[in-house]
Chains A and B, each alone.
Chain A
Amino acid sequence: AQKITQTQPGMFVQEKEAVTLDCTYDTSDPSYGLFWYKQPSSGEMIFLIYQGSYDQQNATEGRYSLNFQKARKSANLVISASQLGDSAMYFCAMREGHNYGQNFVFGPGTRLSVLP
Chain B
Amino acid sequence: GAVVSQHPSRVICKSGTSVKIECRSLDFQATTMFWYRQFPKQSLMLMATSNEGSKATYEQGVEKDKFLINHASLTLSTLTVTSAHPEDSSFYICSAGGGGHGKTQYFGPGTRLLVL
Contact = CB atoms under 8 A, between A and B. Distances in A.
Interface of A: 33, 35, 37, 42-45, 47, 50, 52, 91, 95, 98, 100-109
B98 A43 contact: no
Contact of A43 (B31, B46, B95, B109): B109
A45 B49 contact: no
A27 to B, nearest CB: 16
A98 B103 contact: yes
B77 to A, nearest CB: 13
Contacts of B43: 91, 106-109
Contacts of A104: 34, 46, 95, 105
Contact of B112 (A43, A45, A47, A98): A43
A16 B45 CA distance: 33
Contacts of A98: 103
A45 B49 CA distance: 18
A17 B42 CA distance: 27
